[in-house]
Amino acid sequence: MGAPAPVRAWRERDGRLLRLRLDRPKANLLDAAMIAALDAAFAAAGAGGEGPALRAILLDAEGPHFSFGASVEEHLPANCAAMLGAFHALLLRMLELPVPILVAVRGQCLGGGLELASAAHLLFAAPDARLGQPEIVLGVFAPAASCLLPERIGLGAADDLLLSGRAIDGVEAHRLGLACSVSPDPEAAALAWFDAHLAGRSATSLGFAARATRLGLMERVRARLTALERLYLDELMSRRDPIEGLTAFLEKRPARWEDR
């Protein structure tokens, strides 16, 4: 008997809403298996199939936390090219999908977890959720967030999060425009928004509206992600400190920076 699937998928609202749930609590790490399962689920949603046409997809997570982010082990040189390639392909698939994507976030939503959430159309957050890009603390940077966050919250606010590595709560995320709603039960808030605004709409028209909001964005993100992958893999990972920062984290010790 194999391991349980890292993502659960089911339909609700008379088949008009696809539910996707990260299901490896408590960390819900975005490792290779999780990324592959998400990519397959979004690909299937884009292909359509039997039953009512989708009005939306709601992504949330089992357990107290949305996601601690990508696997740190997979950031090391032996695996980071494959990990970044697969993860960025997933994000591009989400950005291209002609179906509105809602995401409900509680607990920690960090690193790749926030990048995943930022690729959705609307983010519903708990007030005490913690959202951030802590990659700089490990001596690396977040390629996808470096192009997604400026698009969502502006360059100044994005610079603050990306350079400091600090996490913000759901209230600040709402103030910055990253979250569209703050609620103690973000899943219920997302479902209520779906019922009020999407359930009775034409799936065809919603698909065009979802595509329309991403026109221009897709071209910018695709071009920047390619350049950012090269900056990360060819330049950053050829230096000493990024490897030291990742290794120190895995060894549970302070990093010894040499500024090289």
How large a percentage of the chain has pLDDT more than 90?
Answer: 92
Range of the domain at 258: 1-185+202-260
1 has a pLDDT exceeding 60: no
- Residue 75, pLDDT score: 85
Question: Looking at residue 71, what is its pLDDT?
Answer: 87
Does 197 reside within a domain? no
pLDDT score recorded for residue 105: 98
- pLDDT tens-digit series, residues 32-74: 999 999 999 999 998 876 568 999 999 999 999 999 999 888 8
CA-CA-CA-CA torsion sign (14, 38, 47, 181) = positive
Question: What pLDDT sits at residue 79?
Answer: 86
- Identify which of 35, 33, 77 has the alpha carbon closest to the alpha carbon of residue 247: 77
Please state, for a pLDDT cut of 70, what percent of the chain lies above it.
98
- Over range 154-177, report the average pLDDT: 98
User: Residue 50 is part of a domain; what is its CATH number?
Assistant: 3.90.226.10
Lowest-confidence pick of 46-55, 151-160, 181-190 = 46-55
Over range 152-170, report the average pLDDT: 98
Alpha-helical segments (H) within 154-202: 155-164, 170-176, 186-197
| Within a domain: 76 | yes
Residues facing 27 on adjacent strands: none
Task: Place 165 in a pLDDT band, splitting at 50, 70 and 90.
Answer: very high
Mean pLDDT of 24-31: 96
Catalytic residue, candidates 50, 74, 96, 135: 135
Describe the strand order of the beta sheet including 17-22 as a list of residue ranges: 7-12, 17-22, 56-61, 101-105, 122-125, 181-182
pLDDT of residue 76: 87
Identify the pLDDT of residue 4: 83
Domain assignment of residue 43, yes or no: yes
Out of 73, 115, 151, 258, the active site residue is 115
The pLDDT assigned to 2 comes to 61
In a domain, 190, yes or no: no
Pairing of strands 181-182, 122-125: parallel
In a domain, 248, yes or no: yes
Q: How does the average pLDDT of the chain come out, rounded? A: 95
Q: What is the pLDDT of residue 50?
A: 58
Specify if 145 maps to a domain: yes
Contacts of 3 (CB under 8 A, 6+ apart): none
Q: Which amino acid would we find at residue 62?
A: E
CA triplet 133, 138, 144: central angle to 5 degrees?
Answer: 40
Q: Has residue 213 been placed in a domain?
A: yes
In total, how many domains does the chain have? 1
Q: Please confirm, yes or no, whether 135 is among the known catalytic residues.
A: yes
Instruction: Establish if 192 belongs to a structural domain.
Output: no
Nearest Cα to Cα of residue 225 among 151, 146, 161: 146
49 versus 198: the higher-pLDDT residue is: 198
Told to judge if 115 belongs to the known catalytic residues of this protein, a careful annotator would answer yes
pLDDT value at residue 236: 97
Sign of torsion, CA 84 86 91 96? positive
- Judge whether 140 and 98 are in contact, CB under 8 Å: no
Report the C-alpha gap between 152 and 173 in whole angstroms: 11
